[in-house]
Amino acid sequence: MEKFHDKVIYQAYPKSFKDTTGNGMGDLNGVREKLPYLADLGVDMIWLNPFYQSPQNDNGYDVADYCSVDPMFGTMEDFDDLLAEAKKRGMDLMLDMVLNHTSTAHEWFQKALAGEKKYQDYYILREPKEDGSYPTNWVSKFGGPAWAPFADTGKYYLHLFDETQADLNWRNPEVREEMVKVVKFWLEKGVKGFRFDVINLIGKDEELIDATDGVGKYLYTDRPIAHEFIRELNEKTYGQYDDIITVGEMSSTTVENGIKYSNPEQNELSMIFSFHHLKVDYKDGEKWTIMPFDFQELKKILDEWQAGMSDGNGWNALFWNNHDQPRSNSRFGDPKNYPFETATMLAQTIHLLRGTPYIYQGEEIGMTNPNYENISDYVDIETKNAYRELKENGWDEKEILEVIREKSRDNSRTPMQWAESEHAGFTTGEPWLKVPENYRTINVKSGKLSNEIRDYYKQLIQLRKEYAVISRGTYRAIQLDHASIYAYLREDERHEVLVVNNFYGKIALFEVPEEWLQGASHLIGNHPERNLEKSLELQPYETIAFVKKK
Ligand code: TEU
């Protein structure tokens, strides 16, 4: 068993976690202030989104200096204090490494612009086509062409994300050495985890060509050379330690590649985030659409990744939420009528699977999408670009607002709801993003419901530590084609666990397998404890797990 198999990781989005200065934005001291809260929850590691110097065009994913702290988040001393204090409380930090691109405000890009050849080779610069059009027809993930003019040189630079996020040229050994230095810098401080942003995109081909689909993803995602680059980084940095946890963020990867990235024998990463299960409410694969989630598809994907990664000895990061996703309660459940059941059922589904669970701030207290009234309430760059594009495509304001309300990344970036007091106790100033209206009932301090949900999370976290079957047992789905239930079995040499989750607000019947009718006991559930019977009647959004000794 790998050391990290019984760990649970908490994601704190520093800008929205806790403000200690009154400027309306969260900071590192805010995370430090809340360490007792996180220790009490029982998590082992805290993933912090980027807090490095940055113009904040993409909330810190546009890094201007990898080895610094942006003054808006505090100082390097604050970071050191946070790290030391977290360790005292038995927790480690996981840092976000955005190594695919830098901000165009980064010194390297600025020097490149000033004409320094050395730094021009740090980026991906190309001549336009003979007819003067972009070097390729690739599309940026945030909309529009993936190329922008490189000052007045006549050349273009590649940006798979925003124009202010220039892709680095990993084929250049000097770039790879710079990246090694960055990772070492944080390792030497005592950081024990790294989340590598879009790391499966770092391997671009030498020759860049037009995409037959007019988009280009397939030409730069999961290239074999990306694996080589990751192996090299591993060998030169975190691979030299035996207690570092790494997770690669994999934009639309495959199980086959997922295994390569995370099988310990490959010496790449500890685990990966894959996103296919969070696209089951994309109509025709398009994000900016509204569609009820496709439950059968969701189960198919979860099952494929669970079984596939297990067969190939890969390891999944398990999650419903992060800073790029709408809140799962709003998306997959009914937070209005069944807030407790929804939150706990979703949590249990993930926490009892094979992999490492991630909790995104606020998930543990039942936070939801904010349902803003105005387009001006949104600040995310992807949302703003989408707004512009949808407008250009002739959508009316109301339609656009409806879809943005469901899908915007700001849905999860709202301030953490600490208390029923003004601005949810997040700040004494004006919060940078509006606090959802439900903070008076959904909050850490006085929210009864929030407390109940959090207690449930605590139990789930502890179960992973108590039962090896949860942290490392095998996985097998049962009755996968059930209309409203996702059920699975976990097994190791000592125990078997049966987990049954009702994903709908209606009663659902589950035919319990014969061998479970005797000798099984209740492990955890979001309804009063009861015994297994042949035909188990699950209440709306009920989740229930049983355990059997072998
Ligand atoms: O996200 C990568 C990514 O693929 C996103 O485009 C994601 O799919 C999208 O936000 C969902 O609509 C990472 C970071 O998590 C994200 O916050 C950054 O904006 C992005 O990389 C660029 O660094």
Q: Which of 427, 330, 408, 387 is nearest to 59 (CA)?
A: 408
Q: Give the model confidence (pLDDT) of 399-436 as tens digits.
A: 999 999 999 999 999 999 999 999 999 999 999 999 99
Nearest ligand 1 atom to the CA of 275 is 8
Mean pLDDT score, 303-308: 98
Measured from the Cα of 325, ligand 1's closest atom is 11
Q: Which residue's alpha carbon is nearest to atom 3 within ligand 1?
A: 251
Q: What are phi and psi of 39, to 5 degrees?
A: -65, -40
Q: Which two tokens stand for residue 8?
A: 């649970």
Q: Which of 335, 330, 280 is nearest to 302 (CA)?
A: 280
Q: Is residue 3 part of a domain?
A: no
Share of the chain above pLDDT 90, in %: 98
Region 319-333 average pLDDT: 97
Question: Among candidates 515, 509, 512, 506, which has minimal Cα distance to 545?
Answer: 512
Residue type, 235: E
Cβ contacts of 78 within 8 Å, gap of 6 or more: 27, 28, 29, 32, 69
**Within a domain: residue 219?**
yes
Query: Would you state the structure tokens that stand for residue 340, as one six-digit string?
Result: 């407790």
Q: Do 444 and 478 have their domain in common?
A: no
Distance 421 CA to ligand 1 centre (A): 32
189 and 270 share a domain?
A: yes
| 432/396 same-domain check | no
The answer, yes or no, to whether residue 293 has pLDDT greater than 90, is yes
Task: Mark whether 32 and 91 lie in a shared domain.
Answer: yes
pLDDT, residue 69, reads 98
- Residue 361, SS3 per DSSP: coil
- pLDDT for 430 equals 98
**Residues catalogued as catalytic:** 197, 249
Using an 8 Å Cβ cutoff, are 464 and 485 in contact? Answer: no
Taking only the tens place, the pLDDT of each residue in 96-155 is 999 999 999 999 999 999 999 999 999 999 999 999 999 999 999 998 999 999 999 999
Residue 486's alpha-carbon distances to 299, 377, 405, 502, in angstroms, are 7, 37, 28, 7
Q: Tell me how far apart the terminal alpha carbons of the chain are, to the nearest angstrom.
A: 20
Same domain, 402 and 423: no
Final residue in a domain of this structure, among 135, 167, 199: 167
**Per-residue pLDDT reduced to its tens digit, 179-200:** 999 999 999 999 999 999 999 9
Q: Is residue 449 part of a domain?
A: yes
Is 2 a member of any domain? no
Burial class (CB in 10 A: 0-12, 13-18, 19+), 311: exposed
* Distance in angstroms (rounded) separating the CA atoms of residues 122 and 108: 7
User: Structural domain of residue 137, as residue ranges?
Assistant: 107-167
Q: Report pLDDT digits (tens) over 265-281.
A: 999 999 999 999 999 99
Is residue 324 in contact with ligand 1, taking CB distance under 6 Å? yes
How much is the average pLDDT of 74-82? Answer: 98
How much is the average pLDDT of 195-216? 97
Among 403, 433, 461, give the residue marking a domain's end. Answer: 461
Tokens matching residue 263: 């099988």
Q: Is 1 inside any structural domain?
A: no
> CA geometry: angle at 524 spanning 521 and 525, to 5°?
115
Nearest to 187 by CA among 260, 129, 118, 241: 241
Beta strands in 77-150 (DSSP E): 92-97, 101-103, 125-126, 147-149
What are the start-end ranges of the E strands in 32-170? Answer: 45-48, 92-97, 101-103, 125-126, 147-149, 156-158, 165-167
Residue 153 inside a domain? The answer is yes
Cα dist. 505→58, 127, 296, 370 in Å?
37, 56, 16, 22
Point out the ligand 1 atom lying closest to the alpha carbon of residue 251: 4
Is residue 61 in contact with ligand 1, taking CB distance under 6 Å?
yes
φ, ψ of residue 27 in degrees (nearest 5): -150, 175
**Average of pLDDT values for 148-173?**
97
Q: 378 and 502: one domain?
A: no
251 lines ligand 1 (CB under 6 A): yes
Give me the sign of the Cα torsion angle 500, 503, 505, 510: negative
Alpha-carbon span 448 to 450, nearest angstrom: 5
224-236 and 173-189 helices cross at what angle (nearest 10)? 40
Residue 76 lies in a domain: yes
> Which residue carries 């502890």 as its tokens?
462
Question: Collapsing DSSP states into helix, strand and coil, what is residue 453?
Answer: helix
Q: How far is the CA of 272 from the centre of ligand 1 (A)?
A: 15
CATH code, domain with 232: 3.20.20.80
Is 466 inside any structural domain?
no
Q: Which amino acid, 351?
A: H
Rounded-to-integer distance, Cα 161 and Cα 392, Å: 20
pTM: 0.97
By C-alpha distance, which of 262, 175, 269, 197 is closest to 230?
Answer: 269
CATH at residue 137:
3.90.400.10
- pLDDT score, position 1: 64
Residue 47 φ/ψ region, left for φ over 0, alpha for ψ in the -120 to 50 degree band, beta for the rest? beta
User: What's residue 138's pLDDT?
Assistant: 98
Report CA(39)–ligand 1 centroid distance (Å). Answer: 28
Residue given tokens 């963020």 in the structure block:
249
Indicate the number of domains in the chain: 4
Evaluate whether 157 touches 135 at the Cβ level (below 8 Å): no
**To test ligand 1's pocket by mutation, which of 250, 324, 411 has the most ligand atoms within 8 angstroms of CB?**
324
How many alpha carbons lie under 13 Å from residue 232 in its C-beta half-sphere? 17
Q: Whose CA is nearest to atom 6 of ligand 1?
A: 141
Q: Residue 355 contacts by C-beta under 8 Å, 6 or more apart in sequence?
A: 271, 306, 309, 315, 316, 317, 318
- Residue that finishes a domain, picked among 167, 186, 202: 167
Question: Do 502 and 513 lie in a common domain?
Answer: yes
Do 157 and 118 belong to one domain? yes
Give the pLDDT band of residue 204 (cuts 50, 70, 90).
very high
Q: Kindly state whether residues 391 and 440 are assigned to the same domain.
A: no
Whether residue 83 is found in the same domain as residue 199: yes
- 251 falls in which pLDDT band (50, 70, 90)? confident
Q: Indicate whether 335 and 259 sit together in one domain.
A: yes
| Ligand 1 proximity of 161 Cβ (cutoff 6 Å) | yes
Instruction: Report whether residue 198 contacts ligand 1, using a CB cutoff of 6 Å.
Output: yes
Look up the CATH number of the domain holding residue 528. Answer: 2.60.40.1180
- Report pLDDT for 3: 82
User: What would the mean pLDDT of 26-46 be, rounded to a whole number?
Assistant: 98
Q: Are residues 484 and 541 in the same domain?
A: yes
Q: What is the mean pLDDT of residues 428-454?
A: 97
